[in-house]
Amino acid sequence: MSAAVVTFPPSPSVHAPTRHRVAYRCEATARNLSGRREVLLATYRAATPRLAARWLRAEAQRLAHLLAPEPAPYLRGAPLVPTAAGTPRPDHYLLVWAGDDHQYDHALRTLCAGNAYVLAVTDYDARYSVRVYPLPVQRAPQTPAPAGCFPCVPVGAGRQPPRRRGRHAVR
């Protein structure tokens, strides 16, 4: 089975885009080729499409380095075995995707349109995917209190009761 990068184009929206608050669920997964088992490798929740696209690029690079790490110093003298031309190289495709600004812009435009983005590569025995999809958010994120303003807390709230001194304290 050859390795290939699969990017799904944005699906046409039936409804006009509305301005709802959304967050973006970002996840990296590995799945065996039979589809029976999936392992979650990393997750992130982004507040904006740009942060989600940045995570997508960084996670593609991280996953590529995990799939093909640099040789350890103690293995520098070990003989390397060349592979065939048709050998899947998912790490290569992930690094190429992460380094391509046009692919990054395409992912960003897809996420800004409110659609999911999936980057998937296949190895001999697994399919790796890095996905980002929008999640509706019920309420706006909380903003911190302005500088110098302290929240109103009743006196003594949240404090421990005073400790009694001595071993046999009188009640």
Tens place of pLDDT for every residue, the chain, 171 residues? 445 556 555 555 444 444 557 899 999 999 998 888 999 999 999 999 999 999 999 999 999 998 887 777 777 777 777 777 888 888 999 999 999 999 999 999 999 999 999 999 998 889 999 999 999 887 655 666 566 655 555 555 555 666 666 666 555
Domain that residue 33 falls in: 22-72+86-136
134 within 8 A of 22, measured Cβ to Cβ:
yes
Q: What is the DSSP letter of 168?
A: S
Is 149 contained in some domain?
no
Is 130 contained in some domain?
yes
* Model confidence, pTM: 0.65
What per-residue string of b and e applies to 37-50 under the rule 16 or more CB within 10 Å gives b? eeeebeebebeebe
Alpha carbon 128 to its chain centroid, in Å, reads: 13
Q: In whole angstroms, give the CA distance from residue 107 to residue 104.
A: 5
Q: What is the pLDDT of residue 20?
A: 55
Is 43 contained in some domain?
yes
Domain count, the chain: 1
132 within 8 A of 120, measured Cβ to Cβ:
no
* Torsion, Cα of 53, 56, 60, 66 (10° steps): 140
| Beta bridge mates, 133 | 25
Q: What is the pLDDT of residue 170?
A: 58
Is 97 contained in some domain?
yes
Is 9 contained in some domain?
no
Separation of first and last alpha carbons in the chain:
79
Which helix (H) or strand (E) element contains residue 25?
A: strand 22-32
Is 28 contained in some domain?
yes
- State the amino acid at position 70 in one-letter form: E
Is 6 contained in some domain?
no
Is 58 contained in some domain?
yes
